[in-house]
Structure 1
């Protein structure tokens, strides 16, 4: 693999591996932000528990997704890409934190790109 492509793949792998783990852990600590603020009123009304509890469950999903990116990069990156897209769509549907929604869509594209790079690497070098 070209060294620049390898560098980009590794940067994306560690970004999409470590950031979800950190964000997931912070769902329990609320150091970066108060995560329950991101739960729309409509969703909060449907939950059988407090929004903070819901965000802790979200944190567990994010931690698992980050670990998957680090250990099984292709599948983990696809999961992170879908997860970020779902978060962005949820924010867009409630028309709250639209700036975060746009950022998450851009990050989803990056995670998808990592998945595609990982897919090509597993196929092996092409023979010309």
Structure 2
């Protein structure tokens, strides 16, 4: 049976590495063309959407690093970030499947925060 520490460690690596990879990909667009996810909201951004996505990439990289270093704080940051992305997608009227996926991932990040809190309390 997995321990709290093992479960927390798995989620910590997941929510640390995935945002870093996604953030780095904002500079290469190898996984997808990220600007497309802005949908109709491109006009609301006061500068070039490519620049905006690179800023998003930097935020994601930093969030992933925070998860790896300070998982309790980082998990909440990633959770809020994922909820914001999901809301933007829902408001934009596109990529509902991705919005649902991001909300499920936000639940996973919340779970990481709670497991980290439990693991810390036991130490």
Q: Shorter-chain TM-score category?
A: over 0.9
1:99 aligns with 2:97: yes
What secondary structure, in the 3-state scheme, does the structure 1 residue paired with 2:90 have? Answer: helix
Report how far residue 123 of structure 1 moved.
2.0
Q: Which has the higher contact order (CA 8 A, sep 6+)?
A: 2
Which residue of 1 is the match for residue 111 of structure 2? Answer: 113
CA RMSD of aligned residues (A): 1.3
Aligned length: 123
TM-score norm. by structure 1 comes to 0.91
Please, which runs of 5 or more residues in structure 1 have no aligned partner? none
Which residue of 2 is the match for residue 74 of structure 1? Answer: 72
Which residue of 2 is the match for residue 29 of structure 1? Answer: 28
Q: Distance in 1 between matches of 2:26 and 2:64?
A: 14
Return 48-57 or 100-109, whichever deviates more: 48-57
Report how far residue 50 of structure 1 moved.
1.3
TM-score norm. by structure 2 comes to 0.95
Report how far residue 76 of structure 1 moved.
0.1
What secondary structure, in the 3-state scheme, does the structure 1 residue paired with 2:27 have? Answer: helix
1:40-79 residue pairs with structure 2 within 5 A?
A: 40-41=39-40, 43-79=41-77
Q: Distance in 2 between matches of 1:58 and 1:10?
A: 26
Please, which runs of 5 or more residues in structure 2 have no aligned partner? none
